[in-house]
Amino acid sequence: MAITIEKRSIDLASAQGMVMAAIEKAREIGVPSAVAVCDESGILKAFARMDGAALLAVRLAKQKALSSVGFGMPTHGYYEAIKDDPSMLTSLPHQQDMVVFGGGYPIVVDGQVVGAIGVSGGHYTQDQQVALAGLATIEVPVE
């Protein structure tokens, strides 16, 4: 009887590369941002806060990564998933570290969530652009 499981995780070099690519995109669009990449367990793997990024962006970037890895879906998908369910709508957004607007994406390899990226600094649509630039460096499908 097996009593262990094998888990896959984003490696440090990939996580750091994602952060740097996201920062470049944030510079390009003129939005000082914070970028967080966590592993499959929601533990911070790589992080950067650009000069000029808001202090709250630090926490939100980490929360977006954690929210995304927690259920394996982009943070912008949560509202659509819960908007017609009053109990979920009134409870899920109030859970610690839960974010229900754009800027967080899971990193999925061969159907397994291996980490997530979270970005904060601009409007959530800008955060999504920045996060997608980070994801593009590792060439994984995005939902």
pLDDT tens per residue, range 43-70: 999 999 999 999 999 999 999 999 999 9
Q: What is the set of domains in the chain, with CATH numbers? A: 12-136 (3.30.450.150)
> Which pLDDT score is estimated for 81?
87
103: left (phi over 0), alpha (psi -120 to 50) or beta: left
